[in-house]
Amino acid sequence: MSARHLDEKSYNQFRIFLEQQCGIVLGESKQYLVKSRLAPLMAKFDLDSLSELVTRTLAPVERQLRAAVIDAMTTNETLWFRDDYPYKLLQNKLLPEFKAQKTPIKIWSAASSSGQEPYSIAMSVLEYQQKNPGSFPRGVQVIGTDISTTMLEHCKYGHYDSLALARGLSAERKQRFFETGDNGMLKIKDQVKKMVSFRPLNLLNSYSLMGKFDIVFCRNVLIYFSPEIKAKIISQIHGVLNKQGYLFLGASESLSGINQDFSMLRCNPGIVYQKKQPN
Ligand SMILES: C[S@@+](CC[C@H](N)C(=O)[O-])C[C@H]1O[C@@H](n2cnc3c(N)ncnc32)[C@H](O)[C@@H]1O
Confidence bin at 2 (pLDDT 50/70/90)? low
Pocket test for ligand 1, best of 82, 119, 146 (most atoms within 8 A of CB): 146
Largest CA distance in the chain: 68
Pocket of ligand 1 (CB under 6 A): 22-24, 74-78, 82, 111, 113, 117, 146-148, 151, 202-204, 219-221, 250
- pLDDT at residue 47 greater than cutoff 80: yes
User: What's the pLDDT tens digit per position in 184-230?
Assistant: 999 999 999 999 999 999 999 999 999 999 999 999 999 999 999 99
Separation of 221 CA from ligand 1 center, angstroms? 5
C-beta atoms surrounding 19 within 10 Å: 17
Beta pairing class for 140-146 and 213-218 = unpaired
Percent of the chain with pLDDT over 90: 81
Closest ligand 1 atom, residue 77 Cα: 1
**Are the C-beta atoms of residues 142 and 118 closer than 8 Å to each other?**
yes
* pTM as predicted: 0.96
Which protein residue has the closest C-alpha to ligand 1 atom 15?
Answer: 74
**Are the C-beta atoms of residues 274 and 246 closer than 8 Å to each other?**
yes
What is the CATH class of 85-275? alpha beta
Confidence bin at 29 (pLDDT 50/70/90)? confident
Confidence bin at 28 (pLDDT 50/70/90)? confident
Task: Give mean pLDDT, residues 98-119.
Answer: 97
User: What's the pLDDT tens digit per position in 153-166?
Assistant: 999 999 999 999 99
Which protein residue has the closest C-alpha to ligand 1 atom 19?
Answer: 22
Separation of 274 CA from ligand 1 center, angstroms? 22
In three-state secondary structure terms, 15 is: helix
Cα distance between residue 258 and residue 139, in whole Å: 33
Q: In this structure, what DSSP letter does residue 75 have?
A: -
**Are the C-beta atoms of residues 105 and 70 closer than 8 Å to each other?**
no
CATH 1.10.155 fits 8-74, yes or no: yes
- Backbone angles phi and psi of 175, in degrees to 5: -65, -40
**Are the C-beta atoms of residues 142 and 198 closer than 8 Å to each other?**
no
Separation of 1 CA from ligand 1 center, angstroms? 35
- Beginning with the edge strand found earlier in the chain, give each strand of the sheet holding 178-180 in spatial order: 159-160, 186-188, 178-180
In three-state secondary structure terms, 102 is: coil
> What is the reported pLDDT for 118?
98
- Backbone angles phi and psi of 217, in degrees to 5: -105, 115
The ranges assigned to domains in the chain are 8-74, 85-275
Cα distance between residue 159 and residue 153, in whole Å: 10
Pocket test for ligand 1, best of 85, 147, 229 (most atoms within 8 A of CB): 147
Cα distance between residue 243 and residue 179, in whole Å: 38
> What is the reported pLDDT for 3?
60
Which protein residue has the closest C-alpha to ligand 1 atom 7?
Answer: 78
User: What's the pLDDT tens digit per position in 58-85?
Assistant: 888 888 999 999 999 999 999 999 999 9
**Are the C-beta atoms of residues 242 and 277 closer than 8 Å to each other?**
no
Pocket test for ligand 1, best of 21, 81, 221, 249 (most atoms within 8 A of CB): 221
User: What's the pLDDT tens digit per position in 221-254?
Assistant: 999 999 999 999 999 999 999 999 999 999 999 9
Separation of 276 CA from ligand 1 center, angstroms? 26
Cβ neighbors of 245 (< 8 A, separation 6 or more) are 213, 214, 215, 216, 274, 275
